[in-house]
Amino acid sequence: MPVVHLAAGDLNYQLEGPADAPVLLLSNSLGTDLGMWDSQMPTFTEHFRVLRYDTRGHGQSQVSAGFYSIEQLGRDVLALLDHLHIARVHFCGLSMGGLIGQWLGIHAGERLDKLVLCNTAARIATDEVWNSRIDSVLQGGQRAMSDLRDASIARWFTPGFAAIQAAQASRITAMLAATSAQGYAGNCAAVRDADFRGELGAIKLPTLIVCGAADPVTTPADGRFLQQRIAGAQLVELQAAHLSNVEADEAFTRAVVDFLLQ
């Protein structure tokens, strides 16, 4: 896989699809990698040149020391686009990727055409939740990541999906177990410290909000909050938990493509 060499470490990415098509950039959730978008790729690459990457601390990208920030992760995206000489993209991010999308929409809107914010919120959970998780991961290392994998099934998927599509659920949660404990903790801090509730009005882009009706992490109420504060934003609610692009893959893909082609 190609790698872009940034000052703070390497970033792993894939660029697929017609060379003359508009670019769609995909940003993964906390604890996954670019493979979380595999179900979308056949359809997305019919219409777009798709750029997906492993967020810092995930997959094959650099695990840099210390805690990260959403601004830092957003600037990684801009550096990747500059490296590839891509002036503007459609951006689609889920959960942590949606926080990165919010930062880009607020601070670098000139680099975006349309914005898709999936299963995310202007602020996700509380300091106490994130601090507890950071402590347990840093103390427990990779064993703690395996424990998180088991606990995450109930947050990421509905019980029905986890039972019927056990292989797919296992494929995705295996990404979490394989994530570096240091990288995961660094990104937990980035999510903990992100709060865009007072800045969403600065997003002036056509925006789609995607929610999961059974999402216990970023609820439909969080999605409606985003919709109410981003002028003209559209909202779609899917029958899924937190990883709606996996659990409701066909409906998710159709909603995103329809929005981007409007």
Q: Copy the structure tokens of residue 44.
A: 């997305």
Residues 6+ apart with CB under 8 A from 22: 47, 48, 49, 89, 90, 113, 260
Mean pLDDT of successive 10-residue stretches along the chain, which has 262 residues:
82 96 98 98 98 97 94 96 96 98 98 98 97 96 90 93 96 95 97 98 98 97 98 98 98 98 96
Phi, psi of 200 (to 5 degrees): -60, -25
Amino acid identity of 83?
H
Which CATH number fits the domain that encloses residue 241?
Answer: 3.40.50.1820
The C-alpha atoms of residue 20 and residue 29 are separated, in whole angstroms, by: 28
The C-alpha atoms of residue 243 and residue 237 are separated, in whole angstroms, by: 12
**Helix/strand/coil for 196:** coil
Confidence (pTM): 0.97
- Output the pLDDT for position 8: 72
- Give the range of the structural domain holding residue 66, as residue numbers without chain letter: 3-260
**Helix/strand/coil for 105:** helix
Q: Which residues pair with 15 in a beta bridge?
A: 51
Q: How many domains does the chain have?
A: 1
